[in-house]
Structure 1
Amino acid sequence: MSSLRQFTITAILVLASLSVATKEKAPETPTPGTDTVHGCYKSVGTMKNTSHDEFNTQGACAKVCRGLGKLVGASLSKDCWCGDQYPNKADLVDDDQCTEPCPGFGDEACGGLDTWTVYNIGIRVSVGEADSSSSSSSGPSKTSSVANSPSDTIETITASSSPDNNNKSNTNVAGIAAGVVVGVVVISGIIGGTFFWMRRKRNAEIEEEHRRNAAVNAFISGGKPPSSSGGVSMTDSRLDPVMNRRMSDGSIADNQDYSRRILRVTNA
């Protein structure tokens, strides 16, 4: 019975220590050279996600921001944000909303459910706050709560911008393809026209050469040269030696001397 009682007391103490360990520290007065809790906020304002640490703590995040020369830092579980301004005071919430134990030291709270633990790094005591327009719970908070690392955020941005890039690349490819097709058609038309023109010219030259050869052959053999017009040609019969011989048959004898008068007697 005493053992059960002792176990119960021990469990209560452990639970109590855990509840105390994960509670957000109250805001502290900034001190040069050391990090101090500024409060629990529902946004990070103008701060940027700079690191992802499996053993993140308030001191580890402050060291990262100090190395970057930033004035303030914020933690949410394993992620660390850095910047030069506190979030707007309108985004300040109760400390009991930052109850997420830091992975590297469970006695400290590193944010909560869409909340961040904000620190002063210790570089400068007097630090301004972001405008209300730059501190939006629907902007950085949702992106930060989903992303587990800076690489996740980069992948999300890349994925959202990829449709536009795809549309542009598709448009460029379509334009190039259309230009290539038009160029091929034009070049084919020029080549085809040149081929038919040269073929027609060659045929005309062959036909003209054939006509000249036929005329020469006809002239040599004594025949009638072909007419280029294809009509009936008229020739002088006197130039035909055959016709001349026929006409001379039975006419005046060529071997007689007709220069002297010859008296011929005939019976009437």
Structure 2
Amino acid sequence: MSLRKFTFAAALAFASVATAATTSNLEVPASTPVLGSDTVHGCYGSLGSLKLDSSPDFNSQGKCVGICKTKGHTVAATFSDQCYCGDTYPNSADLLDDSKCTEPCPGFDTQACGGLNAWTVYNTGLRVSVAEESSSSSSSTSSTSTSTSASTSTATGGAATQTSDSDSGSGSGTNTVGIVVGVVIAVLVIAGLAGGAFFWMRRKRNAEIEEEHRRNAAVNAFITGGKPGSSGGVSMSDARMDPVMNRRMSDGSIADNQDYSRRILRVTNA
């Protein structure tokens, strides 16, 4: 009975070790590219310039390479059910140990389709000589991390947009106030100039009227100044210079043609 228990436990342990060994060695070692055949190029910590093409059902090395090859791409990569295509390998500085690619392919679970922050990269067989990225892109993460970063960036972008809109609104309000103030000042200046022009013209007109009055008075004084009996431009008539008036004043007085040197006896009734 004890022997049976020992045998069963040993079998379980062996199965566990075998499973762990199989899981940790899902990634096929990189091999030299062969024209016309797809080969594994390695396990990478970045995608470089590779772009997500699709998420095919039952994704695997053969499935993803077939998609990229049909579209004329020389490089393919997998991460679980995601298939990436491009024309250059990621930078060699991002090359990881094969043990980092431990994610079984959905369509063929004995193959690795990437891992945690790792991608399995292939040569599609269209061309043997393929260039690699000139700079490292080790900052790339898994699709989940990428999605999270994208969401964060979007949220941040939204906040920035809102901030920009707020700033624009504030700037617009400030500009509006400035325009209103400018218009008010311009109106006041124009009103002041118009008022000044009006008073200047009025003063000039009054001065012209006064000058005209002075000229008229001088002319009148010149015209009437040489006549006798004129005073201040008003003609004053002297009665002594009028013969008719003199005759009227002599009427009823002592006759000038009588001789008053003789004595005349006048009889009065008692």
TM over 0.5: yes
Query: Under a length normalisation based on structure 1, what TM-score does the superposition of the two structures give?
Result: 0.59
Give the drift of 1:47: 2.1
Match of 2:122 among 108, 119, 134: 119
Amino acid at match of 2:52: T
Shift in CA distance, 121/202, structure 1 to aligned 2, threshold 3 Å:
same
Query: Under a length normalisation based on structure 2, what TM-score does the superposition of the two structures give?
Result: 0.58
Task: Determine if the alignment matches structure 1 residue 86 to structure 2 residue 89.
Answer: yes
Corresponding residue of 2:64: 61
Corresponding residue of 1:20: 22
Once residues 39 and 157 of structure 1 are traced to their aligned partners in structure 2, the CA distance between those partners, rounded to angstroms, is 35
Amino acid at match of 2:36: G
Amino acid at match of 1:256: R
Deviation string, structure 1 residues 209-250 (Cα, Å, up to 9, x no partner)? 9x79xxxxxxxxxxxxx889xxxxx99537546x54xx5389
Match of 1:256 among 247, 251, 269: 247
- Greater Rg over alpha carbons, structure: 2
Deviates more, 1:118-127 or 1:16-25: 16-25
Corresponding residue of 2:266: none
Amino acid at match of 2:127: R
Corresponding residue of 1:49: 51
Shift in CA distance, 123/165, structure 1 to aligned 2, threshold 3 Å:
farther
Give the drift of 1:33: 3.4
Q: Percent identity?
A: 35
Shift in CA distance, 168/31, structure 1 to aligned 2, threshold 3 Å:
farther
Once residues 151 and 257 of structure 2 are traced to their aligned partners in structure 1, the CA distance between those partners, rounded to angstroms, is 148
Q: Is the 8 A contact 1:79 1:149 kept in 2?
A: no
Q: Is the 8 A contact 2:77 2:119 kept in 1?
A: yes
CA RMSD of aligned residues (A): 5.3
Shift in CA distance, 255/67, structure 1 to aligned 2, threshold 3 Å:
farther
Match of 2:35 among 32, 53, 69: 32
Shift in CA distance, 79/168, structure 1 to aligned 2, threshold 3 Å:
farther
Task: Determine if the alignment matches structure 1 residue 148 to structure 2 residue 139.
Answer: no
Shift in CA distance, 59/198, structure 1 to aligned 2, threshold 3 Å:
farther
Give the drift of 1:168: 8.7
Corresponding residue of 1:72: 75
Corresponding residue of 1:193: 192
Once residues 113 and 15 of structure 2 are traced to their aligned partners in structure 1, the CA distance between those partners, rounded to angstroms, is 22
SS in 2 for 1:117: strand
Give the drift of 1:123: 0.9
Once residues 267 and 239 of structure 1 are traced to their aligned partners in structure 2, the CA distance between those partners, rounded to angstroms, is 49
Shift in CA distance, 174/191, structure 1 to aligned 2, threshold 3 Å:
same
Once residues 205 and 48 of structure 1 are traced to their aligned partners in structure 2, the CA distance between those partners, rounded to angstroms, is 88
Give the drift of 1:32: 3.1
Corresponding residue of 1:237: 231
Once residues 70 and 25 of structure 1 are traced to their aligned partners in structure 2, the CA distance between those partners, rounded to angstroms, is 21
SS in 2 for 1:75: strand
Give the drift of 1:72: 1.1
Give the drift of 1:59: 3.5
Structure 1: gaps (5+ residues):
213-225, 229-233
Once residues 200 and 238 of structure 1 are traced to their aligned partners in structure 2, the CA distance between those partners, rounded to angstroms, is 35
Deviation string, structure 1 residues 152-211 (Cα, Å, up to 9, x no partner)? 5984895698599669957974785476356524532454235424653686699799x7
- Superposed, 1:206-225 pairs within 5 Å as none
Amino acid at match of 2:183: V
Amino acid at match of 1:135: S
Corresponding residue of 2:113: 110
Give the drift of 1:127: 2.1
Once residues 40 and 132 of structure 2 are traced to their aligned partners in structure 1, the CA distance between those partners, rounded to angstroms, is 15
Once residues 149 and 37 of structure 2 are traced to their aligned partners in structure 1, the CA distance between those partners, rounded to angstroms, is 26
Q: Is the 8 A contact 2:116 2:142 kept in 1?
A: no
Amino acid at match of 1:20: T
Corresponding residue of 1:219: none
Once residues 160 and 238 of structure 1 are traced to their aligned partners in structure 2, the CA distance between those partners, rounded to angstroms, is 94
Once residues 83 and 149 of structure 2 are traced to their aligned partners in structure 1, the CA distance between those partners, rounded to angstroms, is 10
Task: Determine if the alignment matches structure 1 residue 180 to structure 2 residue 179.
Answer: yes
SS in 2 for 1:31: coil
